[in-house]
A and B are shown apart, each in its own frame.
Chain A
Amino acid sequence: MNFIDRLLETPLIALILKEINQILRNKQLMFLLLFPPTVQLLVFGFSLNPDVQYIKLGIIDYANTYESRELIAAFTENDLFQPKIYTYSQEELGQEVRTGKITAGLVIPPDFNRDLSQNKSAEIQVLIDGVDANTAGIANGYINQIVNQYSRSLNENKSSPLVQVQSVFLYNPGLLSTWFIIPGVIGLVLNLTSTLVSATTVVREKDSGTLEQLLMTPADAWEILLAKIVPLFVLLMGDVLLALSIARFMFKVPLRGNVILFFAFAGLYVLVGIGIGIMLATLARSQQQVILISFFINLPVIQLSGAIAPIESMPTFFQDLSWFNPLRHFVTITRGLLLKGVGIEVLWPNVLMLAIFAVVLLTISINRFRSQLS
Chain B
Amino acid sequence: MSQYIIENADFRMQNPSNNLVIEVAELYKKYGKLTAVRGVNFAVQRGEIFGLIGPDGAGKTTTFHILAGVMEASAGDVWVLGKIPRNARLGIGYLTQQFSLYLDLSIDENLRYSAGLREVSNELFMQRRAKYLQLMGLEKFGDRLAGQLSGGMKQKLALCCALVSQPEILLLDEPTTGVDPVSRREFWDILATLANEGTTIVVATPYLDEAERCSRIALMYDGEIHQIGTLKELRESLGLQRLEVRTNDLQTAEKVLLRAIANSPNIADVQTFGDRLDVLVNNVATGKSQVEEIFHHHNLAINSIESEEATLENVFVTRLRQQGSDPPFVPFPKSKSSHSQSDIAIGAYDLQKIFGNFAAVKGVTLEIKYGEIYGLLGANGAGKTTTIKMLCGLLEASNGKIYLGGKTSNLRSKELRRRIGYMSQKFTLYDDLSILQNLQFYCGVYGVPRRSRKQKIDWVLETCGLAGQENLITGQLPGGWKQRVAFGASVMHEPNILFLDEPTSGVDPLARRQFWRFINEFARQGTAILVTTHYLEEAEQCNRMGFMVAGEVVIQGSPSEIKAQQPGELIELVTNSTQAASDLLKTELESWRVSIFGDRLHIVLDRPKTELPEIRSFLQNAEINVQSVRTIPFSLEDAFIGTVQRAQQKV
- Which of A17-25, A32-40, A131-139 sits within the interface? A17-25
* A21 contacts B449, C-beta separation under 8 Å: no
Closest to A220 in B: B414
B455 to chain A, nearest CB (A): 15
**B394 x A11 contact (CB < 8 A):** no
Contacts of B433 in A (CB 8 A): 18, 21-22, 25
Query: Do residues B426 and A219 form an inter-chain contact, with CB atoms below 8 A?
Result: no
B432 A209 Cβ-Cβ under 8 A: no
> Would A212 and B426 count as touching, CB distance under 8 A?
yes
Bound-state CA distance A229–B208 (Å) is 48
Please indicate which of the listed interface residues A5, A18, A22, A26 has the most CB atoms of chain B within 10 Å of its own CB.
A18
- Chain B residues with Cβ under 8 A from A217's Cβ? 417, 442, 445-446
Majority secondary structure, B binding face: loop
Q: How far is the CA of A187 from the CA of B430 in the complex (A)?
A: 34
Chain B residue with Cβ nearest A215: B394
Inter-chain CA distance A290–B429, complex, in Å, is: 23
Answer whether A210 and B430 are a contact pair too, CB < 8 Å, given A9-B447, A9-B449, A10-B447: yes
CA of A218 to CA of B473 in the docked complex: distance in angstroms? 25
Interface size bracket, A side: 20 to 34
- A213, CB-defined interface residue at 8 Å: yes
Chain A, Cβ-Cβ closest to B444: A14
Tally chain B residues at the interface, Cβ within 8 Å: 32
Q: Which parts of A77-128 form the interface with B (CB within 8 Å)?
A: none
Which chain A positions have C-beta within 8 A of B420? 216
* B417, A210: Cβ atoms closer than 8 Å: no
Interchain CB contact under 8 A, A9 and B418: no
Asked if B336 CB lies within 8 Å of chain A CBs, one says: no
CB distance from B390 to the nearest CB of A (A): 12
A258 CB to closest chain B CB (Å) equals 39
B394 contacts A212, CB within 8 Å? Answer: yes
Complex Cα distance, B431 from A213, in Å, reads 14
Nearest-Cβ distance from residue B143 to partner chain A, whole angstroms: 23
**Is A17 touching B444 in the complex (CB atoms < 8 A)?**
yes
- CB of A374 closer than 8 Å to a CB of B: yes
Chain A residues with Cβ below 8 Å from B422 are 213, 216
Q: Is A208 an interface residue (CB 8 A)?
A: yes
Residues of B within 8 A of A9 (CB): 444, 447-450
Minimal Cβ-Cβ distance residue in A for B392: A216
Q: Which of B427, B441, B446, B449 has the most CB of A within 10 A?
A: B441
A218 touches B417 (CB 8 A): yes
Asked if A359 is an interface residue, CB under 8 A from chain B, the answer is no
Complex Cα spacing A212 to B392, Å:
11
Give CA–CA (A219, B424) in the complex, Å. Answer: 17
Q: Is B396 an interface residue (CB 8 A)?
A: yes
Quick check: B450 and A8 within 8 Å, CB to CB? yes
Residue-wise, chain B 447-458 has the 8 Å CB interface mask toward A (1 for contact) of 111100000000
A15-B445 in contact given A216-B394, A216-B422 (Cβ < 8 Å): yes
A to B CB contacts below 8 Å, 18 in the list: A9-B448, A11-B446, A14-B441, A14-B443, A15-B441, A15-B444, A15-B445, A18-B444, A18-B445, A22-B430, A210-B428, A213-B422, A213-B424, A215-B394, A218-B415, A218-B417, A218-B446, A374-B412
Beyond contacts A9-B449, A219-B445: 5 other A-B pairs, Cβ-Cβ < 8 A, are A18-B430, A18-B444, A21-B437, A210-B429, A218-B414
